[in-house]
Amino acid sequence: MKKIVTIVGARPQFVKLAPVSRALRGKFQEVIVNTGQHYDHNMASVFFEELNIPRPDYDLEVGSASHGKQTGMMLDKIEQLLLSEKPDAVLVYGDTNSTLAGALAASKLHIPLFHIEAGLRSFNKRMPEEINRILTDHVSTLLFAPTETAVSNLQKESIVHHVYNVGDVMYDAVLYNVNIAEEKCKLFDFNVESKQFYLATIHRAENTDDKEILRSIVESLISIKNDVIFPLHPRTKAKLEEFHLFDLFKFSNVKVIDPVSYLEMLTLEKHAKGIITDSGGVQKEAYFMQVPCYTLRNETEWIETVECGWNQLVNPQSDNLADIIENQEKREYVPNLFGDGKSSHTIVEKIEQFFNEQ
Q: Least CB distance from residue 325 to ligand UDP, whole Å? A: 20
Q: Is 41 a catalytic residue?
A: no
Name the residue nearer to ligand UDP (CB basis): 140 or 300: 300
- Neighbouring-strand partners of residue 311: 293
Distance CA(304)–CA(245), nearest Å, equals 34
CA-wise closest residue to 291 among 277, 300, 301: 277
Catalytic-labelled residue, pool 41, 67, 110, 203? 203
Q: At what angle do helices 211-222 and 234-242 cross, to 10 degrees?
A: 100
Is the C-alpha dihedral spanning 162, 166, 170, 172 positive or negative? negative
Distance CA(175)–CA(208), nearest Å, equals 31
The binder of 265, among ligand UDP, ligand UD1, none, by C-beta within 5 to 8 A per type, is ligand UDP
Q: Least CB distance from residue 110 to ligand UDP, whole Å? A: 29
- Choosing from 9, 119, 259, 274, the residue that interacts with ligand UDP (CB under 6 A) is 259
Query: Which one of 111-119, 155-163, 276-284, 288-296 is the stretch in contact with ligand UDP (CB under 6 A)?
Result: 276-284
Q: Which residues contact 161 (CB under 8 A, 6 or more apart)?
A: none
Query: Residues in contact with ligand UDP, total (CB under 6 A)?
Result: 16
Binding of ligand UDP by 260 (CB under 6 A): yes
Burial 172-199 (b: 16+ CB within 10 A, else e): bbbeebbeebeeebebeebebeeeebbb
Q: Least CB distance from residue 224 to ligand UDP, whole Å? A: 19
The binder of 270, among ligand UDP, ligand UD1, none, by C-beta within 5 to 8 A per type, is none
- Choosing from 112, 274, 281, 316, the residue that interacts with ligand UDP (CB under 6 A) is 281
Q: Least CB distance from residue 104 to ligand UDP, whole Å? A: 20
Name the residue nearer to ligand UD1 (CB basis): 239 or 273: 239
Name the residue nearer to ligand UDP (CB basis): 77 or 270: 270
Binding of ligand UDP by 146 (CB under 6 A): no
Q: Give the chain's largest Cα–Cα span.
A: 63
The binder of 178, among ligand UD1, ligand UDP, none, by C-beta within 5 to 8 A per type, is none
Backbone angles phi, psi at 21, to 5 degrees: -60, -40
DSSP state of 7: E
Distance CA(351)–CA(164), nearest Å, equals 11
Binding of ligand UDP by 19 (CB under 6 A): no
Name the residue nearer to ligand UD1 (CB basis): 208 or 346: 208
Binding of ligand UDP by 172 (CB under 6 A): no
Give CA 134 to chain center in angstroms. 17
Binding of ligand UDP by 12 (CB under 6 A): yes
Distance CA(54)–CA(315), nearest Å, equals 40
Residues near ligand UDP (CB under 6 A) are 11-12, 15, 201, 203, 231, 259-262, 265, 279-282, 285
Q: Which residues are catalytic?
A: 203
